[in-house]
Amino acid sequence: MAGGGDTESETQVNAANGTGGGTVRIHNPRRLPDFLQSVNLKYVKLGYHYLISNLLTLCLVPLMIVILIEASQTEPEEIKQLWLHLQYNLVSVIICSAFLVFGSTVYIMTRPGPVYLVDFSCYRPPDRLRVQFHRFMEHSRLTGDFDESSLEFQRKILERSGLGEETYAPEAMHFLPPRPSMAAARQEAEEVMFGALDNLFANTSIKPKDIGILVVNCSLFNPTPSLSAMIVNKYKLRGNIISFNLGGMGCSAGVIAVDLAKDLLQVHRNTYAVVVSTENITQNWYFGNKKSMLIPNCLFRVGGAAVLLSNKAKDRRRAKYRLVHVVRTHRGADDKAFRCVYQEQDDAGKTGVSLSKDLMAIAGGALKTNITTLGPLVLPISEQLLFFATLLLKKLFNKNVKPYIPDFKLAFDHFCIHAGGRAVIDELEKNLQLRPIHVEASRMTLHRFGNTSSSSIWYELAYTEAKGRMRRGNRVWQIAFGSGFKCNSAVWEALRNVKPSHNGPWEDCIDRYPVKVVS
């Protein structure tokens, strides 16, 4: 076709294969050098990463060869003289050995003990609590609390949210009119927490009396007695149990709860810790017309998780993961960050959680601070050198030099990004240069269960296990954002090829995923 552009131009290359010619069609030959250059750069970077990562080995091998050659040429008489010399300096050798043994003992005794994740369980609500989009909108309309503008706003949020048609709302919200009450909120909390714990105890065969530490986090519902006391009462936990109830700490509180449990396990030896992460929606549904406070209605759904941690050496054999790092970032000193997720009353006196339009920018700043701390702990030396070299160039020579974004795919095999919303996942996928497979667990969790707050990272980990992708030695990065404003990370290492636990949240639907999420 005459006058065709780049997309229509075509070059044929005859490739001889020894017995005959083959025809390879290369579309758009003008872009061929760019393609080859990108391929070359990719392999250059891989080569650089391999070289730096194995630099010590590459240097030691020639050194060992030289030592072996020299040793093979050493006369027996010289070896005898060396042995006599050591005998004459026996006192020095004994003193050095004693210091070495003493130092090793002190190091072993004072270093933090390993914390193992034996198993975890995510709550799967009953089918009667499912809320489809059309039912959500019809229900919102019939309550009479929302004007037409608010109803249209909620419809648009739902369509763009990334949520599917199978998420769950609390039972009180299924009535007309809705029936939010303290009793209904307690019922929601009990069903979620006890459902997750019952399954955890069944899968691990752990007796409730064996639990020495209990940490519960729920941001918006903090009754008296506390949620942790409700669990102690239900399972008749022992009287000397160390229990904590964390409130008001937002969606990243699950990582905070794990960090607290980890610190307690360093002090209290040979015991188990249970972490329960959940959120309660019943009394926190917003019935007003302020747009920034309507968003949580569209995103937050029922969910919770229970996690069993251990510091017992014998549990390493059956544990799924070992806790490697926890890094916490708090931006609460900044007024803008402090108020970007804020529970308040609107002009009509109706209570809800307001989300600021600056939320994504603030989350990005918190993430930057968090990964600046996490990077040196997890990234290979090759990535750290590139990062600091770029930073140095920017400081000394050119302020316009773009900062180097480390390749966290070299440090982690799986990513569990808090399913706070579609925009959160999109932003991290772009900023961390991740591929669709890396954010699949987050997108599918958002689609299937919605934003379950602090427990979402556990639904994502369960998804990865259900897909059979977790292999021994794999590293997992759980990252969550929360009010305050906080960004918290937890790094886990798989101790074996992990299979999904019985009665997992994805057991009845994993074959249908991943699904295509409509833009």
Contact 329, 363 (CB under 8 A): no
Q: Which of 203, 321, 216 has the alpha carbon at shortest distance from 275?
A: 216
Catalytic residue among 451, 474, 487, 488: 451
Contact 488, 252 (CB under 8 A): yes
Domain end, chosen from 113, 129, 150, is at: 113
Residue 47 belongs to a domain:
no
451 is catalytic: yes
Strands (E) in 50-162, as ranges, are 116-122
> Using 50, 70 and 90 to split pLDDT, how confident is the model at 101?
confident
As a whole number of angstroms, the distance between CA 514 and CA 359 comes to 28
Residue 341 belongs to a domain:
yes
As a whole number of angstroms, the distance between CA 458 and CA 465 comes to 11
330 is catalytic: yes
Residue 43 belongs to a domain:
no
Least confident range of 81-90, 226-235, 357-366, 427-436: 81-90
Q: Are residues 282 and 300 in the same domain?
A: yes
| Pair type for strands 242-246 and 211-217 | parallel
Q: Are residues 151 and 293 in the same domain?
A: yes
Q: Are residues 396 and 503 in the same domain?
A: yes
For 366-391, give the secondary structure using H, E and C. Answer: HHHHHHHHHHHHHCCHHHHHHHHHHH
418 is catalytic: yes
Q: Are residues 241 and 273 in the same domain?
A: yes
Q: What is the pLDDT of residues 8-29, one digit of tens each?
A: 333 333 333 343 444 334 344 4
Q: Six-digit token pair at 16? A: 């001889």
Contact 327, 489 (CB under 8 A): yes
| Pair type for strands 486-494 and 321-330 | antiparallel
Contact 457, 288 (CB under 8 A): no
Domain tally, the chain:
2
414 is catalytic: yes
As a whole number of angstroms, the distance between CA 464 and CA 500 comes to 9
Pairwise pLDDT comparison (261 vs 8), residue with the higher score: 261
| 192-219 mean pLDDT | 97
Least confident range of 184-198, 386-400, 433-447, 479-493: 386-400
Q: Which of 247, 249, 164 has the alpha carbon at shortest distance from 480?
A: 249
Q: Are residues 101 and 173 in the same domain?
A: no
As a whole number of angstroms, the distance between CA 473 and CA 489 comes to 19
| 407-423 mean pLDDT | 94
Residue 25 belongs to a domain:
no
Q: Which of 438, 435, 436 has the alpha carbon at shortest distance from 479?
A: 438
| Pair type for strands 21-27 and 304-310 | unpaired
Q: Six-digit token pair at 242? A: 């160390």
With 0-12 / 13-18 / 19 or more C-beta atoms within 10 angstroms meaning exposed / middle / buried, residue 120 is buried
Q: Are residues 102 and 185 in the same domain?
A: no
Catalytic residue among 217, 245, 418, 488: 418
Catalytic residue among 122, 340, 414, 488: 414
101 is in which domain, residue-wise? 84-113
Q: Are residues 324 and 358 in the same domain?
A: yes
* Model pTM score: 0.82
Q: Six-digit token pair at 509? A: 């639907």
Q: Does the pLDDT of residue 414 top 60, yes or no?
A: yes
Q: Kindly tell me the number of DSSP H helices and DSSP E strands found in the chain.
A: 16, 13
Residue 417 belongs to a domain:
yes
Q: What is the CATH number of the domain that holds 408?
A: 3.40.47.10
Q: Which position has the token pair 């990535």? A: 383
Q: Does the pLDDT of residue 150 top 60, yes or no?
A: yes
Catalytic residue among 217, 218, 245, 251: 251
As a whole number of angstroms, the distance between CA 472 and CA 510 comes to 22
Catalytic residue among 245, 416, 438, 447: 447
> Using 50, 70 and 90 to split pLDDT, how confident is the model at 51?
low
Beta bridge partners of 25: 12
> Using 50, 70 and 90 to split pLDDT, how confident is the model at 57?
low
Q: Are residues 107 and 133 in the same domain?
A: no
Q: Six-digit token pair at 237? A: 């936990």
Q: Are residues 318 and 437 in the same domain?
A: yes
Catalytic residue among 199, 217, 298, 330: 330
Q: Six-digit token pair at 187? A: 């019922």
Q: Are residues 331 and 317 in the same domain?
A: yes
Pairwise pLDDT comparison (69 vs 159), residue with the higher score: 159
Domain end, chosen from 60, 92, 113, is at: 113
As a whole number of angstroms, the distance between CA 480 and CA 363 comes to 10
Residue 415 belongs to a domain:
yes
What integer pLDDT is reported at residue 213 of this predicted model? 98
Residue 252 belongs to a domain:
yes
Residue 29 belongs to a domain:
no
Q: What is the pLDDT of residues 264-316, one digit of tens each?
A: 999 999 999 999 999 999 999 999 999 999 999 999 999 999 999 999 999 99
Q: Are residues 97 and 188 in the same domain?
A: no
Residue 194's contacts (CB-CB under 8 Å, 6 or more residues apart) are: 231, 234
Q: Are residues 355 and 239 in the same domain?
A: yes
